[in-house]
C-alpha cells in the first residue's frame, strides 16, 4: 500500500445538460500502485473514459464538474490544483494516449516538432538537441528510419505507426503513469499485438504504471495485473486478473466474460452465446439501487432498494453485489 501512485476515492464527475444532470462517474474508487498495469473495463458509457480524463482534469468545466471525491496523486489531492500546477503534472508525471491517434496529433506539424515540443517543455535543450531527442524516441518505439521520419507529418504514418508516435510522445516526459484510453481499438489484430508488446516493453524499461481503459476482455487478460469493472458510472467489481477471469463474482462481469466467443475452445457454433438482456440504463435518471438490477438474472427485491457497497470477498477482490 505504501507504494500507491494514484488513489481515486469516491469520485463523482457529473455533466450538466439540457435534460438534467448526467452522472457519468458516480462514486468511483480506483487505486494504481507503482509499476502495475490496471485495466478499467466496461461498455460504452460506463464512465471509464471520464474517470481517466478526470485524473488529468481534461474535462471541460462546465458542463462537467467534480461533484465529490478525491483524486490523490502520490498522496496529494489534485482536484483543487490550479492550471499551472496541473500542467506540471501533465508535463512530467502523467501522460495519456488516445484511441484515435490521427485526431490527437496535430496534422500541420511534423511528428518531430510535436515530440520535440514535449521534450523541450521538460528539459532545457536547444531545438536541435530536442529534435535529436525526438528521433531517439521514435527509434525507441521501433519506427524504422527515425532520423528521416521525424520530418514526416502524421498523415504519412499508418494507424499502428501513429499510435507508436503517440506512445513516443507520451514517454518523452518519462511519466510515472501512462493512461492508455482504448489504445488499440482502432487497430487490426496483428498491429494491436505489436502495440501491446511495445507498451509492455516500455513499461519494463521505464518502470511506469499503466492505466489501461478498454472494452476488450482479451486485451485485459493478457496485459493487466489488476482489473476494475465499471457499469453505469460505478465500480461493480475489482480483482487481480486471475481472480476476475477465474472466479468472477458480479453477474455483470460473469455475463461480460461469457458473452465473448472463444477461439481457443472447441465449442464452436453449436453453443449459443450467453447474452445480457436489455441495454445500459440512462445516467440522467439512474435507477435506485443496483444499476444492473434490471438486466440481472439473479435480481431480487432488495437489489432495487439500496446501492450495494463494494465488499471484499477475497484478498484484493471486491464486489458490489448483495449475493
Task: Measure the CA–CA gap between 60 and 127, rounded to whole angstroms.
Answer: 32
197 touches another protein (CB under 8 A):
yes
315 touches another protein (CB under 8 A):
no
Task: Measure the CA–CA gap between 163 and 159, rounded to whole angstroms.
Answer: 6
Q: Which one among 170, 208, 232, 256 touches another protein, defined by CB under 8 A?
A: 256
Pairing of strands 64-73, 4-17: antiparallel
Q: Which one among 124, 128, 155, 272 touches another protein, defined by CB under 8 A?
A: 272
Task: Please say which residue, 167 or 241, places its beta carbon nearer to another protein.
Answer: 241
Q: Which one among 72, 81, 86, 257 touches another protein, defined by CB under 8 A?
A: 257
Task: Please say which residue, 35 or 218, places its beta carbon nearer to another protein.
Answer: 218
Annotate each residue in 121-160 with x if it binds another protein (CB under 8 A) or - if it does not, as one string.
-----------------------x-------------xxx
212 touches another protein (CB under 8 A):
no
CB-based contact 67:50 (threshold 8 Å): no
79 touches another protein (CB under 8 A):
no
190 touches another protein (CB under 8 A):
yes
Q: Which one among 236, 241, 303, 320 touches another protein, defined by CB under 8 A?
A: 241
245 touches another protein (CB under 8 A):
yes
189 touches another protein (CB under 8 A):
yes
221 touches another protein (CB under 8 A):
yes
Max Cα separation, the chain? 68
**CA torsion, ordered 183, 185, 190, 196, to nearest 10 deg:** 30
Q: Is 57 helix (H, G, I), strand (E, B) or coil?
A: coil
> For the chain, percent helix, then strand, then coil, each to nearest 5?
35, 25, 40
Pairing of strands 177-181, 94-97: parallel
CB-based contact 222:37 (threshold 8 Å): no
Task: Please say which residue, 130 or 256, places its beta carbon nearer to another protein.
Answer: 256
99 touches another protein (CB under 8 A):
no
Residues written for the chain = 323
On the question of a cis peptide bond just before residue 257, with omega within 30 degrees of 0, the verdict is no
Count of residues touching another protein (by CB under 8 A): 48
163 touches another protein (CB under 8 A):
no
Task: Please say which residue, 124 or 272, places its beta carbon nearer to another protein.
Answer: 272
Rounded to a whole number of angstroms, the minimum distance from the CB of residue 61 to another protein is: 27
Task: Measure the CA–CA gap between 95 and 58, rounded to whole angstroms.
Answer: 12
Long-range CB contact pairs, 57-61, < 8 A, 24+: 57/81, 57/86, 58/96, 59/13
Binding site for another protein (CB under 8 A): 43-44, 144, 158-161, 188-194, 196-197, 215-222, 241-242, 245-246, 255-257, 259-264, 266, 268-269, 272-277, 279-280
Amino acid at each position: 500500500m505504501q507504494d500507491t501512485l494514484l488513489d481515486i476515492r469516491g469520485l463523482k464527475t457529473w455533466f450538466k445538460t439540457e435534460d438534467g444532470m448526467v452522472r457519468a462517474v458516480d462514486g468511483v474508487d480506483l487505486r494504481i500502485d507503482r509499476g502495475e498495469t490496471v485495466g478499467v473495463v466496461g461498455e460504452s458509457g460506463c464512465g471509464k473514459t471520464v474517470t481517466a480524463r478526470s485524473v488529468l482534469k481534461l474535462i471541460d468545466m462546465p458542463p462537467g464538474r467534480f461533484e465529490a471525491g478525491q483524486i490523490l496523486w502520490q498522496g496529494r489531492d489534485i482536484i483543487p490544483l490550479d492550471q499551472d500546477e496541473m500542467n506540471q503534472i501533465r508535463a512530467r508525471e502523467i501522460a495519456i494516449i488516445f484511441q484515435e491517434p490521427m485526431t490527437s496529433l496535430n496534422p500541420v506539424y511534423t511528428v518531430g516538432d510535436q515530440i520535440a515540443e514535449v521534450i523541450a517543455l521538460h528539459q532545457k535543450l536547444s531545438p536541435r538537441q530536442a529534435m535529436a531527442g525526438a528521433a531517439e524516441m521514435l527509434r525507441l518505439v521501433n519506427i524504422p528510419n527515425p532520423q528521416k521520419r521525424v520530418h514526416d507529418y502524421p498523415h504519412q504514418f499508418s494507424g499502428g505507426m501513429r499510435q507508436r508516435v503517440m506512445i513516443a510522445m507520451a514517454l518523452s516526459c518519462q511519466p510515472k503513469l501512462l493512461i492508455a484510453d482504448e489504445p488499440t481499438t482502432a487497430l487490426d489484430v496483428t498491429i494491436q499485438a505489436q502495440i501491446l508488446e511495445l507498451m509492455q516493453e516500455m513499461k519494463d524499461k521505464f518502470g511506469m504504471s499503466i492505466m489501461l481503459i478498454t472494452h476488450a476482455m482479451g486485451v485485459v487478460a493478457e496485459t493487466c495485473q489488476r482489473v476494475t469493472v465499471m457499469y453505469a458510472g460505478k465500480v461493480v467489481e475489482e480483482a487481480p486478473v486471475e481472480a476476475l477471469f477465474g472466479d468472477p463474482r458480479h453477474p455483470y462481469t460473469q455475463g461480460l466474460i461469457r458473452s465473448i466467443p472463444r477461439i481457443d475452445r472447441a465449442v464452436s457454433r453449436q453453443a449459443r452465446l450467453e447474452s445480457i438482456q436489455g441495454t445500459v440504463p440512462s445516467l440522467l435518471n439512474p435507477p435506485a439501487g443496483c444499476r444492473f438490477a434490471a438486466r440481472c438474472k439473479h435480481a431480487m427485491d432488495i437489489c432495487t432498494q439500496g446501492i450495494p457497497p463494494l465488499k471484499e470477498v477475497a484478498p484484493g477482490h471486491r464486489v458490489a453485489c448483495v449475493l
